[in-house]
Chains A and B, each alone.
Chain A
Amino acid sequence: MSSLNVSDARTGTLPWALAGPRYLIGSWVWRALAYTLTTIMVGGVLMTVAFPVYAPLAASVVMIESRAVGDVIFLFLLGVVMVVCFGPLIAIPLGAVERRRLRIVLPGPDHSGHREPPAGLWGWFRTRYTEAATWREVAYAAVMLVLFVVTLTLVGFLFTTALTLAATPFILQSPEEAPLSMGPFQLYSSMDALPFALASPLFAIALLYACGLLSYGHGVVARSLLVGPPKEELYAELGQVTESRARLVNAFEYERRRIERDLHDGAQQRLVALSMDLGMARVDLDEDSPADRRVVAAQSKADELIDEIRELVRGIHPRVLTDRGLPSALAELADHCPVPVTVNADLPRRQPPHVEGTAYFVVAEALTNAYKHTEANAVTVHADLREGPRGDVLRVEITDYGPGGADPSRGSGLTGMADRVAVMGGTMDLSSPVGGPTRIRVELPCTTEQPQTQR
């Protein structure tokens, strides 16, 4: 932001008006007056309504010298309990009112820092009583009480003074009112009162400036305690984080496919060719001769290597997934699982590669868990596509009929799965009661955005 913009932003604010020569004839003075008057009104209501809440605390402070220590401590603790229990109930609506009132003197973003509570009364209470925004509002309520008293005193003094001074010449027109004492001065006539009456506008001006300064100070305090960080900024930041996260996921997915491609088209093809060459060598050798046995051994090593690479690729991003999609890949995965797996995958169309990759990874991990960590004797894998409000949602459900009791914190790959799903903007539910079955349900949004990839 350039310095020009900064000064632009400051023009037309209350402090700018207060410092300028035209405060008293502009609109800001009216705003300051309005804010001050409403401060006194809201403060009055607050002081009355909140009395039961702050009374014990106030009493404990007042009685700190006159009463027994035990009583004071009791009152103090009672006060704290009252404030903690009922403070938010008053402070939250107060906060809402004050954020609106804040617009009079400090226009700008004025949303609360409150979170969206879950449905139900209990959810509301749990959210509100545990978030910082609520307790900042409670603090504000206390500040508000003090500011109310200060405002009322100062404004009240300046107002009555200005009024009284202005009124003295008129009062002294009836002689029976004389002499009027004005501090050290004794006034006997309207003429005597004239200099005082002339001072009245000064007090009026002081009153208006006091309103401005108090309003501004109050507003700054209110903003710092009541207004959360601008939502647009948060959303923008969140958007950036989400985007970069999606880019990362896509980059990883792309890398996985590249590794698979390199292994497949490079190493594996060469190994198959090597195995074939060795096979050809055998054709020219006497069967069971020492040379033949060596070639057989070499060939079986090459074949093992082929299988190993195949297994490796299966754990990353198998070719069948790229070529034929999720149902075929899941079927092949199931075929290589030592536990009998029933796959029920009915998908009318292909999903974006990163969605297929993640779903495949989740099922692969779940099957590995099922046979490594449980004695599951049967696993079912179910995949379907549902229409969600924002496009298709791929739902994958893996149920193993093992002993259950899976605990993500014991690092059985469940956290890794949840992370990878979360990055995609998906959700993962785990249900694993002791006694089984263990069910993992994953929902992945099929967003079409993906980076430019090449074969």
Chain B
Amino acid sequence: MPTVLAEDGVLLREGLVGVLERFGFPVVAAVGDGEELIAAVDEHRPGLVVTDIRMPPDFTDEGLRAAVRLRRAHPGLAVVALSQYVELSYATELLDSGDGEGVGYLLKQRVGDVREFASVLRKVVEGATFVDPEVVRQLLRRSADPLQRLTAREREVLEHMAEGHSNGAIARKLVVSDAAVGKHVGNILAKLDLPPDDGVHRRVQAVLAFLRAQAG
């Protein structure tokens, strides 16, 4: 999967190129700011973009804005954004782009676990939504109203959902039956007022509902 990388820290950029290449994401361009990122994507048409959120010239959210623009211009482009810290509005903006499929929001410190990082990239490329566990944890801590209605187990399931796990994977992690997880997911969706006929994106919607409620 050809990949464009945007990261302004030279040391980290080199490291990331090594990791991406090693796990089957050949880096067709490695750039240092948002404008270069957009130009590189337009030129190389990659399948995946890994971008730092905070880049020159203003060091605020250049990477994020570039990613949102790219998602609009290139539907189906998978984007993983790396952030220095948990910022819910970043996650929301990013997940709101497109239909929330094929995006990931990850804390930078996460890339040290290269295998895990690579597996997140693969999931996102396959269309999954991935939100950093820390973000989810903080979301669940911060959330007031919607969370009050969820049981402890349902929160746990939602956490795993937000991390992009399937029902089967969640069942294995929690050591319960698939049916039990299905029931929990159903309850979560109901409690978050997500209509049952919303189709396949309801899982993403569930996570988004939280993000919007918290960040908005």
List residues of A whose CB falls within 8 A of some B CB: 264-265, 269-270, 272-273, 275-280, 282-283, 299, 302-303, 306-307, 310, 318-320, 323-324, 328, 331-332, 334-335, 340, 342, 455
Are A302 and B138 in touch, CB under 8 angstroms?
A: no
CB-defined contacts of A307 to chain B, threshold 8 Å: 109
Q: Give the residues from 1 to 51 in chain B that come closer than 8 angstroms, CB to CB, to chain A.
A: 9, 11-12, 14-16, 18-19, 22
27 contacts between A and B (CB under 8 A): A269-B9, A272-B12, A272-B108, A273-B9, A273-B12, A275-B109, A275-B111, A275-B112, A276-B12, A276-B112, A276-B114, A278-B112, A279-B111, A279-B115, A279-B117, A280-B15, A280-B22, A283-B115, A302-B112, A306-B109, A319-B85, A323-B61, A324-B60, A324-B87, A328-B89, A332-B86, A335-B138
Contact B114–A323 (Cβ < 8 Å) = no
Kindly list chain A residues whose C-beta atoms are within 8 Å of the C-beta of B12: 269, 272-273, 276
* CA of A331 to CA of B142, assembled, Å: 8
The count of residues in chain B whose C-beta lies closer than 8 Å to any C-beta of chain A is 31
Cβ-neighbour of B54 out of A302, A310, A323 (below 8 A): A323
Would you call B114 and A279 a contact (CB within 8 A)?
Answer: yes
B19 adjacent to A276 (CB under 8 Å): yes
Q: A138 to B7, alpha carbons, bound, how many Å?
A: 76
Inter-chain contacts of B61 with A (CB < 8 A): 323
Contact status B11-A283, CB under 8 Å: no
Binding site for A on B (CB under 8 A): 9, 11-12, 14-16, 18-19, 22, 54, 59-61, 84-89, 108-109, 111-115, 117, 138, 141-142, 144
Smallest beta-carbon distance A189→chain B, Å: 110
For A279, the chain B residues whose CB sits under 8 A away are 19, 111-115, 117
**A299-B112 contact given A277-B15, A280-B19, CB 8 Å threshold:** yes
Given the known interface contacts A269-B12, A306-B109, A323-B54, the answer about A283 and B84 at a Cβ–Cβ threshold of 8 Å is no
**B115 CB contacts on chain A under 8 angstroms:** 279, 282-283
Chain A residues with CB below 8 A from B18, complex form: 276, 280
Residues of A within 8 A of B54 (CB): 319, 323
Complex interface: chain A residues within 8 A of B108 (CB): 272
